[in-house]
Amino acid sequence: MFLGQIRNNLLFTQKDQIKRMPTSNLNRHLGKISSRMTQIQPSGLRELFDLEHKIAKSSSNTILSFGLGNLNIPTLSEIIEEMKIVLDNPVSHRYSSNAGILALREALSERYFSKYQLEYTTEQILVTGGSLEALFDVFIALLDPGDEVLIQDPTFNPYYSNQITIAGGRVKPIKLNEKFQLDPESIIESLTPKTKAILLNFPSNPTGSVMTRSQIKDVVETAADNKIVVISDEAYEDIVYDKHKHTCAAEIDYENVIVISSFSKTFSMTGFRLGYVLGIQELIKPISLVHQQNTACANTPSQMAAIKALHLHPSIRDPMMLELNKRRKETIKVFTSIEGISLQNDPLGAFYIFPNVSDTGMNGDEFSKFLLEKCQVVVVPGSGFGNTTKDFVRVSYGFLNPEEIQEAGSRIKSLI
């Protein structure tokens, strides 16, 4: 209000002195932007979300969105209460140590010991602004120009590819098997003298696939045999269903394993922007230097509240997991009962399923557009997640409750 008043007064009194920024022609400025950035792909979702916005305005139907990689399950009230308390503490208004508040790194060390029997010292842990920052720091610290990073196809793209490209590396996608899992043979086939690292993501976004302990062991041992670094993005490590038990890649004996994880999904804290990296000190040190130059430290109030999150008994998450499992079952039931749609994996992790829609006569792009236009249901085309996935769509059950999922199912069935 106050700022608005200043603006109005200025417009009234000093019209001649106001400097308007030019609305520029991008081409005129291309020479000033690094050539790296010209290779960066914006998210393919923008077009779909623009269309969603347009349809939301004109349709009487509410939009039911399986599009978001976000959870609408509230952050635990204990964490919110703690956040309110820490904001009254002036310590939370300041930078923390670069690596993260010691008590938080101690709590993380404790967590990895009790969950995976892995003993990390606090020097082997770095707290970051979400796992996205962690990934970025790792790529910048590890990659020389032209170094290749093997990534799963499909995977969490365009983020992974863009980050690797910005860091000067090259992306080498490896086609996953029909269950969207990684076979050691396909890693070996993709190796070149320039291969520096392999990036794993299980449980997987976008497929919901998980890997067993012996599969993770085979992959990490293949990386070890070929002396490449394993970067394991385990952002969904705690979102697993039925009897599946997540294996942390660092449980397998190989020193060049960098584990990345996050508070975002485990505690439904995406907005708090808090992730972390674990690894041997020789690797964590250069990654910390990048982090220091990048952000100095992760958000201090979030770090303080996160200590509380780690000290809560794990069962505190049971209601969230019960709800997610209900949504998962309902989503699988709805989509697999539609003619022309099939699921080729058992999605035992994260909050996504990745069905093949080609037997409807449409590819993933066409199918997504069709659902949005004809029944105001949003799913995301698979084509954005890899080179082999144009017939698929990603369906997220992070944002719809079981009743809404059923409603979406009835709308789709009445069409197809």
Ligand X SMILES: Cc1ncc(COP(=O)(O)O)c(C=O)c1O
Query: Between residues 76 and 412, which has the closer beta carbon with respect to ligand X?
Result: 76
Name the amino acid, one letter, at 88: D
C-beta of residue 64 within 8 angstroms of C-beta of residue 406: no
Closest alpha carbon to 246 in 295, 273, 212: 212
The angle subtended at Cα 121 by Cα 118 and Cα 126, nearest 5°, is 100
3 state DSSP class of 251 = helix
Q: Which parts of 390-409 interact with ligand X (CB under 6 A)?
A: none
Q: Provide, rounded to whole angstroms, the least separation between the CB of residue 130 and ligand X.
A: 3
Contact with ligand X (CB under 6 A) among 67, 100, 130, 381: 130
- Region near ligand X per CB under 6 A, out of 127-135, 178-186, 297-305, 364-372: 127-135
Query: Between residues 162 and 264, which has the closer beta carbon with respect to ligand X?
Result: 264
Contact with ligand X (CB under 6 A) among 65, 92, 96, 131: 131
132 binds ligand X (CB under 6 A): yes
96 binds ligand X (CB under 6 A): no
If residue 199 lies in a helix (H) or strand (E), which one and from where to where? Answer: strand 195-200
Query: Between residues 176 and 375, which has the closer beta carbon with respect to ligand X?
Result: 176
Query: Between residues 69 and 301, which has the closer beta carbon with respect to ligand X?
Result: 69
Contact with ligand X (CB under 6 A) among 67, 169, 173, 275: 275
43 binds ligand X (CB under 6 A): no
Task: Print burial letters for 131-169: b (CB count within 10 Å at least 16), e (below 16).
Answer: bbbbbbbbbbbbbeeebbbbbbbbbbbbebbbbbbbbeb
Q: Which parts of 59-78 interact with ligand X (CB under 6 A)?
A: 69
How far from the centroid of its chain's Cα atoms is residue 68's Cα? 11
- Region near ligand X per CB under 6 A, out of 37-45, 47-55, 130-138, 216-224: 130-138
Task: Print burial letters for 213-235: b (CB count within 10 Å at least 16), e (below 16).
Answer: eebbbbbbebbbeeebbbbbbbb
163 binds ligand X (CB under 6 A): no
Query: Between residues 260 and 362, which has the closer beta carbon with respect to ligand X?
Result: 260
Segments in 191-349 forming alpha helices (H): 213-225, 281-295, 300-311, 318-336
**Spatial distance between the Cα atoms of 6 and 307, rounded to a whole number of angstroms:** 42
Measured over all CA atoms, what is the biggest interatomic distance in the chain, rounded to whole angstroms? 73
Contact with ligand X (CB under 6 A) among 201, 300, 331, 356: 201
In the shown chain, the binding pattern of residues 245 to 274 toward ligand X, with x for contact by CB under 6 A and - for none, equals: -----------------x-x-----x----
Neighbour count for residue 255 (Cβ, 10 Å): 11
233 binds ligand X (CB under 6 A): yes
Contact with ligand X (CB under 6 A) among 141, 199, 228, 235: 235
Q: Provide, rounded to whole angstroms, the least separation between the CB of residue 206 and ligand X.
A: 8
**Which residue is closest to ligand X by CB?**
130
351 binds ligand X (CB under 6 A): no
**Spatial distance between the Cα atoms of 275 and 302, rounded to a whole number of angstroms:** 10
Task: Print burial letters for 389-405: b (CB count within 10 Å at least 16), e (below 16).
Answer: bebbbbbbbbbbebebb
**Spatial distance between the Cα atoms of 220 and 26, rounded to a whole number of angstroms:** 44
Contact with ligand X (CB under 6 A) among 65, 75, 109, 205: 205
Query: Between residues 169 and 349, which has the closer beta carbon with respect to ligand X?
Result: 349
**Spatial distance between the Cα atoms of 367 and 339, rounded to a whole number of angstroms:** 13
Tell how strand 380-381 and strand 393-396 pair up: antiparallel
Query: Between residues 130 and 382, which has the closer beta carbon with respect to ligand X?
Result: 130
Q: Provide, rounded to whole angstroms, the least separation between the CB of residue 70 and ligand X.
A: 7
- Region near ligand X per CB under 6 A, out of 32-40, 124-132, 221-229, 354-362: 124-132
Q: Which residue has the tokens 């490896």?
A: 174
Query: Between residues 69 and 100, which has the closer beta carbon with respect to ligand X?
Result: 69
How many residues make contact with ligand X (CB under 6 A)? 13
Query: Between residues 133 and 363, which has the closer beta carbon with respect to ligand X?
Result: 133
Query: Between residues 370 and 397, which has the closer beta carbon with respect to ligand X?
Result: 397
**Spatial distance between the Cα atoms of 148 and 411, rounded to a whole number of angstroms:** 45
Neighbour count for residue 370 (Cβ, 10 Å): 18
Query: Between residues 208 and 409, which has the closer beta carbon with respect to ligand X?
Result: 208
- Region near ligand X per CB under 6 A, out of 13-21, 85-93, 129-137, 187-195: 129-137
Kindly list the residues in this chain that would bind ligand X in the complex (CB under 6 A): 69, 130-132, 156, 201, 205, 233, 235, 262, 264, 270, 275
